[in-house]
Amino acid sequence: MQSDRTGALRRLVEDIVPGERVHPDWPMARETTFRCGGPADIFVRVADEKELVALLRALKAAGAPWFLMGNGSNLLVRDGGLRGVVLQIGPAFGGTQVQGDILRARAGTLLSQAARAAADKALTGLEFAAGIPGTVGGGVFMNAGAYGGELKDVLHSVRVLNPESGEIYTLAAEQMQMGYRHSRLGETGEIALEAAFKLAPGQQAAILARMEDLNARRREKQPLEKGSAGSTFKRPEGYFAGALIEQAGLKGFSVGPAQVSPKHAGFVVNNGGASAAQVLSVIEQVRRRVLENAGVALQCEVRIVGEDG
């Protein structure tokens, strides 16, 4: 019955998207930086707004579940995978354009590419994003940030799609309700299609030097060579998650190949072959031990989705 349903979904999707971008029973370990997770029934690489609108209309009419993702850099998919259709807003949905001090980036553009495009035009303000592995769409969704900078600091406006009505409209930055790792998109379900960032003229050499300095600090202090979703926990007010985890004696703690990074305790990593269940076990034990040790309830920054295996 499940295979019949998946076959019907595949036919529905392939009426809109060329078959080479439609992948049935697709392992999400290939599409997330945690490098683990079960399969999606159907995985689709969406190329543009027209495709996205058509897909959402067809899926709504069929009553089929769907899930939207970007680069998979802040996502943990459980071992049972995702039912229905996963729509990836990735590189095919990318591209930037600069007009004066405004940089426009389509949702699938990597944040690192947006930062580089700004630097190419000697525009300053996005240097902090040079090493963030996510997309512009995902970054706006969660107000991504690093090294004291956040997207809300430079956000001008966002073109969004209402998946229920199919309407496309523009929201000003002040309408986006941006906060720490938060925007209104998480509540409304609106989908970012393109973001505009208001930057400032700068010295290109200084901009590039700042980007390289931040990337060098990342390489030195973060376990970039391991599978992870970056910082696993949100920063608790008045504390640093990594320090709390280290104080609880958990630096290097592991469940199979899933581990609290010995390099930076704020990162849970996959050393190779970890299941999502093992990663989740590390996360939950860290939260429990830190609560017991310091009385601080850590909140997971990573989005956790899918069914248990």
Query: Do both 236 and 251 map to the same domain?
Result: yes
28/127 same-domain check: no
Secondary structure of residue 195 in the 3-state scheme: strand
Per-residue pLDDT of 287-308, as tens digits, reads 999 999 999 999 999 999 999 9
Same domain flag for 86 and 18? yes
Closest CA to 28 of 86, 84, 96, 101: 86
Residues 98 and 216 both lie in one domain: yes
Tell whether 106 and 214 lie within a shared domain. Answer: yes
Together in a domain, 178 and 265: no
Question: Helix, strand or coil for residue 72?
Answer: coil
**pTM metric for this prediction:** 0.94
Average pLDDT over every residue of 61-75: 97
Last residue of a domain, one of 180, 205, 220: 220
- Where helices occur in 31-184 by DSSP H, the ranges are 49-62, 111-120, 136-142
DSSP β-ladder status, 303-305 and 75-77: parallel
Match 């943990």 to its residue by tokens.
76
Q: What is the CATH number of the domain that holds 33?
A: 3.30.43.10
The pLDDT > 70 percentage for the chain reads: 99
Which CATH number covers residue 295?
Answer: 3.90.78.10
- List, by residue number, the catalytic residues: 181, 231, 301
- Measured distance between the N- and C-terminal CA atoms of the chain, rounded to whole angstroms: 19
Q: How many helices (H) and strands (E) would you count in the chain?
A: 8, 19
Q: Domain of residue 119: give its range.
A: 94-220
136/164 same-domain check: yes
- Residues 298, 239, single domain; the answer is yes
pLDDT band at 5 (very low <50, low <70, confident <90, very high): confident
Domain identity same for 168 and 69:
no
C-alpha–C-alpha distance, residues 158 and 136, integer Å: 10
pLDDT band at 2 (very low <50, low <70, confident <90, very high): low
Domain boundary (189, 205, 220) is at 220
**Sign of the dihedral defined by the CA atoms of residues 106, 110, 114, 116, in that order:** negative
Instruction: Give the mean pLDDT of 112-117.
Output: 98
User: Do 180 and 229 belong together in one domain?
Assistant: no
Are 112 and 77 part of one and the same domain?
Answer: no
Q: Does residue 1 register a pLDDT over 60?
A: no
| Mean predicted confidence (pLDDT) in 120-127 | 98
* CA-based nearest residue to 95, from 110, 115, 112, 109: 109
Clarify whether residues 186 and 235 are in a common domain: no
Per-residue pLDDT tens digits for 84-110: 999 999 988 999 999 999 999 999 999
- The maximal CA–CA distance of the chain, rounded, in angstroms, is 61
Q: Compute the distance between CA of residue 199 and CA of residue 120 in angstroms, rounded to an integer.
A: 13
Nearest to 43, CA basis, from 309, 308, 306 = 306
Across 185-189, average pLDDT: 96
Residue 309's pLDDT band, with cuts at 50, 70 and 90, is confident
CB 44 within 8 A of CB 85: yes
Q: Tell me the C-alpha distance between 75 and 72, whole Å.
A: 5
pLDDT per position as a tens digit, 205-252: 999 999 999 999 999 999 999 999 999 999 999 999 999 999 999 999
- Average predicted confidence (pLDDT) for the chain: 97
Average the pLDDT over 25-34 and give the result: 98
CATH number of the domain that 189 lies in?
A: 3.30.465.10
Q: How does DSSP classify residue 71?
A: S
Give the length of the chain.
309
Mean pLDDT, residues 58-79: 97
The helix/strand/coil state of 282 is: helix
Q: Based on the structure, what is the number of domains in the chain?
A: 3
* Residue 4: pLDDT over 80: no
Q: For 142-177, what is each residue's pLDDT tens digit?
A: 999 999 999 999 999 999 999 999 999 999 999 999
Tell me how far apart the alpha carbons of residues 269 and 267 are, in angstroms, rounded to a whole number: 6
Q: Round to whole Å and give the CA distance between 244 and 291.
A: 9
Domain boundary among 155, 189, 220: 220
